[in-house]
Structure 1
């Protein structure tokens, strides 16, 4: 069994995501037993892009910005070559997995999530913090079904040397028209636009602006050329029109949204302590000597077989003790995670995955039982990428963890469904006893 790795008081588990900003892994606080998410940044990246001060500022802000509808940043630690950001671990998956699962949401339920989103955004704006990259991937649900916005202040950090934001590397469907231009923009107004697109998607089940051609998509966003479906109530329709105003100067502000009759219905602002003491000592300690003590990152050496998964990872993976999520593909919409189980040998699983991916015209890179598939997104606006990793959960029982590395969430779920249909002969379903 692999020896579990520790960072400070945290036992580090499996990877749950990767993005522009580094990797995210499950971890557990050995003192309290609490599950956390650990965001891992390479110091080399931060130094290369001269981002030390900016990241220090953004992490300090995330620590200070404390709100029940925002994922909490607990602390920051440093190793020789990496920085570890310890975040609240949110167990309910992405809000948009609900749409994939159920289609559009009822108006009352959509309004509840929208109210929580606006509260989180308003709180940050009051502290001078703008998200600038609000999209489905950043909206999580906790165990009680409450919305949690993730990556406030971190998601839009530019990784280009010139320090300019590059919004088009994400999904542009949620981006305000003024952000698509080359001029500077008001972060508050841009966040409000993205909230409007999110509300529309919750209630409609599809995007207000969704074109396969990038030029057409941009021109429709710039002209705010969209229409609300017939099932939207007139009040909701009216509010969305005010939010999706292409002119940021006349676009409705947070106060206007909060005073809107549709928004105010069943609105109960969440209670929280405003005066909570927050220490930034850990942030200062991590960043003060980053340049002096930086040592080039060494590549990790792994053994030849698939990684073994320990009991802690199994339990965390299945969100508590309900292991059915491991086996039942209908229940696996957890945190953008999708997975299946196979009784075939690991090598057979990998070769089947590669063959199916190639038949779908995807580029394939495999190393140590981990495969990355790459293609162009359906609306041709950027890269679409998926990572598959094989884990041995018991002798001759393997779990294949599939996660989105780049592209749109709704598109990813369609891909996953289609991909699994083509792999049916290697997928084991204990309920039906097949495979």
Structure 2
């Protein structure tokens, strides 16, 4: 049996856990210690072309400053001639949004637990001079114990970004979660803006819906500016009082993190997190600067593709047990919430007992008439849509994995384009693959839930 692996420094890369416009996240194993990690991989050419150097440096600088049990931990940063690798803690519980979508809404004690962890984390970040600026359930992950892990500090701000007036002036964040002062573009206090987002998150956890919603952006901003929202009838009076103080349109009178921590509703069952000593075992800033220096050749790692004594693979890559389980919804880092259709994934998979080469042929035959150009690279395929959709051309990455002899898992991920269009594409594609599919995505998710 032929197996293929990719090695970067001391890490062996495995299954793709998530993919965005500028980066992908892969499962990785430290071959020296046997520990598992997630590695965020960015293409240098894209980083330079899209002028993202300052943003990536800021994200790295931010994560160097933070060592908190409820923040995804960064361990090191590496670079090859063409790529940047950020080694992160592997968080295996999925997104908090997955839990909302599954349960529709959380009960008060469960919502309070996550809110306590969120506020404690945000208060800690603020004490270190870090302001997240894009807090939303999609950026809140859960670990194997069901505890919160705040992620994605790509839009965070550090003290040096404040102007002479002591305020931030960059409009950023997700519209439904941003505070009124961010919308009005007159400068804002990063800490107070983050607290507003925390209030929106608390409301969403308990109500199963966002407090401020409107398809018209102007109307949405008007609702946010006036704090125009309604509470569900099942909210307790104590949590409504707290949310009203958080979703105060006036940042001067809005409740602070310190005041929230003193609140009676917040304090029920509150457990302060334990911290490890803040010893800086990260690389120094010069090493990080060298990563973005095109002329520097020091500290570069080499990405090695390893294969057993053959020039080309005769069988698909073998998926190990951990990677197999990590494709389940609970461990999948790539789900996406869109309110038009509830929970819509930008990744799906199915299993098949057909030979791998037959699966490739069938996918090619089904995708062609749908207007997709197919490019093959061993047991990986790229399906590129010819038509321009809502967000450009839809592109789908497909890979076949061998789970057991004569048993394969086919992974399909949206690389670019609109998620809803990907959803429609898969429905149409699956019709042409009905003779190939052994178990559908829904059947697989049910089996994975039983495993866990």
Q: Would you call these one fold, judging by a TM-score over 0.5? A: yes
> Which of 220, 224, 233 pairs up with 2:223?
220
Give the match for residue 346 of structure 1: 360
RMSD between superposed Cα atoms in Å? 3.8
Q: Is the 8 A contact 2:65 2:128 kept in 1?
A: no
Q: 1:118 to 1:293 in 2, by over 3 A?
A: same
Give the match for residue 200 of structure 1: 203
Q: 1:47 to 1:105 in 2, by over 3 A?
A: same
Give the match for residue 309 of structure 1: 317
Q: Is the 8 A contact 1:36 1:88 kept in 2?
A: yes
Give the match for residue 322 of structure 1: none
Deviation at 1:15, TM superposition (A): 2.0
Structure 2 distance, partners of 1:432, 1:20, is 29
* Equivalent residue pairs, number: 395
Give the match for residue 439 of structure 2: 429
Q: Is the 8 A contact 2:95 2:333 kept in 1?
A: yes
Q: 1:27 to 1:140 in 2, by over 3 A?
A: same
Q: 1:47 to 1:214 in 2, by over 3 A?
A: same
Q: Give the TM-score of the pair, scaled to structure 2.
A: 0.75
The correspondence of residues 318-333 of structure 1 with structure 2, limited to 5 A, is: 318-319=325-326
The correspondence of residues 33-432 of structure 1 with structure 2, limited to 5 A, is: 33-48=34-49, 52=53, 55-152=56-153, 154-156=154-156, 165=170, 167=172, 171-273=174-276, 275-281=277-283, 283-288=285-290, 290-293=293-296, 308-312=316-320, 314-319=321-326, 334-337=332-335, 339-343=348-352, 345-349=359-363, 352=366, 367-368=375-376, 369-371=381-383, 376=390, 387=396, 389-393=398-402, 397-403=407-413, 423=430, 425=434, 427-429=437-439
CA deviation profile, 1:190-247 (whole Å, cap 9, x unmatched): 1111111111111011111122222222222222211110111111111111111222
Q: Is the 8 A contact 2:389 2:417 kept in 1?
A: no
Q: Is the 8 A contact 2:18 2:332 kept in 1?
A: no
Q: Is the 8 A contact 1:104 1:204 kept in 2?
A: yes
CA deviation profile, 1:77-117 (whole Å, cap 9, x unmatched): 12112221100000011111011111101110000001001
Structure 1 distance, partners of 2:180, 2:417, is 20
Deviation at 1:385, TM superposition (A): 7.5
Q: Point out the structure with max Rg over C-alpha.
A: 2
CA deviation profile, 1:357-388 (whole Å, cap 9, x unmatched): x7xxxx96754423478855xxxxx8997855
SS, match of residue 38 in structure 2:
strand
Q: 1:214 to 1:288 in 2, by over 3 A?
A: same
SS, match of residue 28 in structure 2:
strand
Deviates more, 1:112-121 or 1:48-57: 48-57
Structure 2 distance, partners of 1:422, 1:232, is 44
Structure 2 distance, partners of 1:388, 1:419, is 12
Structure 1 distance, partners of 2:144, 2:111, is 18
Q: 1:387 to 1:306 in 2, by over 3 A?
A: farther
Deviation at 1:352, TM superposition (A): 4.7
Q: Is the 8 A contact 1:4 1:13 kept in 2?
A: yes
Structure 2 distance, partners of 1:407, 1:196, is 31
Deviates more, 1:139-148 or 1:179-188: 179-188
Deviation at 1:293, TM superposition (A): 2.9
Structure 2 distance, partners of 1:307, 1:251, is 60
Q: 1:309 to 1:206 in 2, by over 3 A?
A: farther
Structure 2 distance, partners of 1:384, 1:205, is 32
List runs of 5+ in structure 1 lacking aligned partners: 158-162, 320-324, 377-381
Q: 1:220 to 1:371 in 2, by over 3 A?
A: farther
Q: 1:234 to 1:335 in 2, by over 3 A?
A: same
Q: Is the 8 A contact 2:96 2:141 kept in 1?
A: yes
